[in-house]
Chains A and B, each alone.
Chain A
Amino acid sequence: MYPHSFLWHFLWLAPHVLQIFIAVIMFRRGLVREFPVFFIYTLFQIIEEGTLFVLDHSAAVSDYQYWYAHWVGLTISGALRFGIIWELCANVFRNYPGLRRLNRLAFRVATIVLLFLATTVAARAPEDGTYHIFSRIQVVDLSVNVMQSGLWLLLVGLSFYFGLSWRSFAYGIAFGLGIFATVALASEAARVWTGFVAGYAFDFVTMAAYNCCAVIWLTYLMAPERSLGALKELPENNLEQWNAELQRLLLQ
């Protein structure tokens, strides 16, 4: 494979070293039960990237073999990231039974629309003139990023509109993965349309974003949970009157 610089190796390995700490802290604090998919994803990333690192430096492994291994890893980690979105949705909406149906409907519709959009993106993406498998990996990655970014946008948008509160670590996971999905989407889109040479520079951008992502997870994991104060009374409000008024307006 290509002789990579020290910076390349650092950006590649550093987040996965941090992920070892994340996995250990999650296990110790009993967060595995609450975020099992994220825990599996963390472990998978450590193993996958460790394996790819060894394959990259082994003379016995050809380019094709490396890219096939990369492809398999990308597929599994992509599926796990979808799982994390689902896990966060369940975690955020658990305390709001009134929103469950709306949430389910919104996500079903969004998935169909995003699937259509991702297929369109994949169909229109050009070949970059390198190995076919390499070119297709970028396109599949871009399509997955389109879907994941869309679902992030929906999850964050819905919870933003309804003013839902997140547990600190759940928010940390969403914040970290949201930033990664955002940067990955932008850089994959630019890479697919600009070709392989410029694409090499985007690797640094994506890897740097993943480093930020791991730092965010670790920071949120180590920060103490916000303690809620004790209330002795609730304020007077006329929410029910407003609800009746808005219902009247909608039925007009």
Chain B
Amino acid sequence: MILSFSLVTVALAILLLLLYLEGVHRSPVSRMQDLTGRTRPVDIDAFRNLTDPKEDEFLRVNLCPREFRTIQRERARSAMDYLRNTTHNAVFLLRLGEVAAQSADPRIALAGKQLIESALRLRAYALLSRAQLYVPRDAIFLWQVGRQLSAS
């Protein structure tokens, strides 16, 4: 019976995803004006700072462990927000890239293809980066220490 319920849940998940996609499919972006109000602000310098290992090290040395963990959690959350916004924007740029790739002007068509590649690469990297940001740095640190200890 558990198996039966699991299968029904999977079926519902597919149905909901399809219905959601139907909504997305009906709101196309094909002109520059379509971007207005749909993209979100992102600050790459702030993101760089939030994910900088030197900054992590500085905080680790200057804060007590408890404070450090709290700050690190907040930094990871903020980095995640930036990542979410930039991947959100990438979808709209991807759409414009697709329109541009169909252009009769070869210059625009080439730029469109490059935009598509960059946007897809960003979405793929973002998927892996999210996993990296979700795993606490302490866990990675402890795992590395454990590996070194077992090797020695």
Residues of A within 8 A of B (CB): 95-96, 98-99, 102, 121, 124, 142, 146, 149-150, 152-153, 156-157, 159-163, 165-166, 171, 174-175, 178-179, 181-183, 185-186, 189-190, 192-193, 226, 228-235, 237-243, 245-250, 252
Contacts and interface: CB of A to CB of B under 8 A. Distances in A.
Given A146-B7, A232-B108, A238-B44, A182 B122 contact: no
A159 B21 CA distance: 9
Given A183-B11, A230-B104, A249-B129, 9 more contacts: A102-B124, A153-B13, A156-B14, A182-B11, A186-B11, A229-B30, A231-B31, A246-B129, A248-B51
B12 interface: yes
A248 B35 CA distance: 29
Given A183-B11, A235-B35, A246 B125 contact: yes
A185 B121 contact: no
B99 A229 contact: yes
Chain B interface main SS type: helix
16 contacts: A95-B116, A98-B121, A152-B14, A156-B14, A160-B21, A161-B127, A163-B91, A165-B28, A166-B25, A175-B22, A182-B15, A186-B11, A228-B99, A231-B108, A239-B118, A239-B122
A126 to B, nearest CB: 11
Interface string B45-89: 001100101000000000000000000000000000000001000
A185 B4 CA distance: 9
Contacts of A96: 116, 120
Interface in B78-129: 86, 90-91, 93-105, 108, 111-112, 115-129
B125 A182 contact: no
A143 to B, nearest CB: 11
A230 B32 CA distance: 10
A166 B28 CA distance: 11
Interface of B: 1, 3-4, 7-8, 10-15, 17-18, 20-22, 24-25, 28, 30-32, 35, 44, 47-48, 51, 53, 86, 90-91, 93-105, 108, 111-112, 115-129, 132
A243 B125 contact: yes
A149 B115 contact: no
A235 B96 contact: yes
A233 B122 contact: no
B8 to A, nearest CB: 5
Interface centre among A146, A156, A182, A248 (most CB of B within 10 A): A182
Given A163-B90, A166-B25, A185-B11, A228 B129 contact: no
Contacts of B53: 252
Contacts of A160: 17, 20-21, 24
Contacts of B51: 245, 248-249, 252
A240 B126 CA distance: 13
Contacts of A165: 25, 28, 95, 98
Contacts of B47: 245
Contacts of B98: 95, 165, 228
Nearest to B116: A96
